[in-house]
Amino acid sequence: MTAPKTLSEVRELYARPLLDLVFEAAGVHRSHHDASEVQLCTLLSIKTGGCAEDCAYCPQSSHHKTAVKAEPLLETGAVLDAARAAKAAGSTRFCMGAAWREAGDGPEFERVLDMVRGVRGLGLEACCTLGMLTEDQARRLAEAGLTAYNHNLDSSESFYGEIIGTRTYKDRLDTIKGVAKAGISLCCGGILGMGESAEDRVGLLHTLASLDPQPESVPINALVPIDETPLAGRAPLDPFDFVRTIAAARILLPKAMVRLSAGRLSLSPEAQALAFLAGANSIFTGEKLLTTSNPGADLDAALLGSLGLKGRPPCKDDEPALAAQA
């Protein structure tokens, strides 16, 4: 069956009885992926805080007086030490995040290119999230061997203006187009629990599924409410809404890696298990994401162990790319 694509089809899909949706998503998952494997990814904040954007959810925005302390761009050596440690702990993808509105040109961007080359040289997938990019920057990241670029749409176009005032949905889509043009895989997802409606989630899913090419990776974040941000007091996300969105994403983007991202500490092991059944097939490991806490290695090993899941082996689909670089 062809995946539904119109907005009304996505709306109907999203509104189905939860267990029917999970059942169908589990089938789609199993026909496109090895359902016994979960890809383990590690995140590192390479440049923390002091960001010029006003994203209402974000601890790193300079518009909110949060507890996050701004730090300059890390040195390449420190980043590669972290990447080696991530690899030793079983991660196959290393994601570098910078609290930038946009990646500027100059020595800092050159350093990020060095980091990408170094991470790829370790045999890891390399992902970056640096804010808006020009087409030339995207091309240079591709040349350095970048596997994927993370640039989230976060929510529907109509809800976007309620959470971010310093950039538009179109700015986001323009960077996404430049990334695709440079031949870099796209990692693009959203945040649930910001006060958005079911219709906003439908809008986000429809936009993600309509991107051409579709994202190779879809991170689904549960809002981590941060003190002193405008979203600090948001009501906790209903875990079944989280699972419903994962299931719909799996059906609409059958080939993508669907990643359980921020906010896993607020999800029970049972909710995460249902999310894996519904087609999630990746997690971020380690005690810290960019600035927020994450379940540690022991908790995750116990969770995967009790579900009979295993970490995906290194660079399964990535060997030709690495061989071409050697």
Q: Which is nearer to ligand SAM, 86 or 191 (CB)?
A: 191
Say whether 259 is catalytic. yes
Say whether 58 is catalytic. yes
Q: Which is nearer to ligand SAM, 92 or 261 (CB)?
A: 261
Token digits for 184? Answer: 């870099």
Find the shortest distance in angstroms from Cβ 120 to ligand SAM.
Answer: 20
Q: Please report the sign of the dihedral spanned by the C-alpha atoms of residue 45, residue 204, residue 54, residue 264.
A: negative
Binding mask 136-165 vs ligand DTB (x if CB under 6 A, - otherwise)? --------------x-x-------------
154 is an interface residue for ligand SAM by CB under 6 A: yes
Say whether 51 is catalytic. yes
- Cβ burial 35-66 (10 Å sphere, 16+ → b, else e): eebbbbbbbbbbbbbebebbbbbbbbbbbbeb
- Yes or no: say if 275 and 242 are a contact pair by the CB < 8 Å rule: yes
131 is an interface residue for ligand SF4 by CB under 6 A: yes
191 is an interface residue for ligand SAM by CB under 6 A: yes
Q: Which of 189, 194, 229 is nearest to 209 (CA)?
A: 189
Q: What are phi and psi of 11, to 5 degrees?
A: -60, -45
Q: Which residues sit opposite 38 in a β-bridge?
A: 311
| Integer Cα distance of 290 and 288 in angstroms | 6
Figure out which of the listed residues 66, 92, 152, 217 binds ligand SAM, where binding follows CB under 6 A.
152
- 41, 128, 187, 188: the active-site residue: 187
61 is an interface residue for ligand SF4 by CB under 6 A: yes
Helix (H, G, I), strand (E, B) or coil at 43: strand
- Pick out residues in 203-262 that bind ligand DTB (CB under 6 A): 219, 221, 224, 261-262
- Yes or no: say if 291 and 60 are a contact pair by the CB < 8 Å rule: yes
Find the shortest distance in angstroms from Cβ 323 to ligand DTB.
Answer: 28
| Active site amino acids | 51, 55, 58, 95, 127, 187, 259
Interface contacts to ligand SAM, rule CB under 6 A: 51, 57-58, 60, 97, 99-100, 129, 131, 151-152, 154, 191, 221, 223-224, 226, 262-263, 290
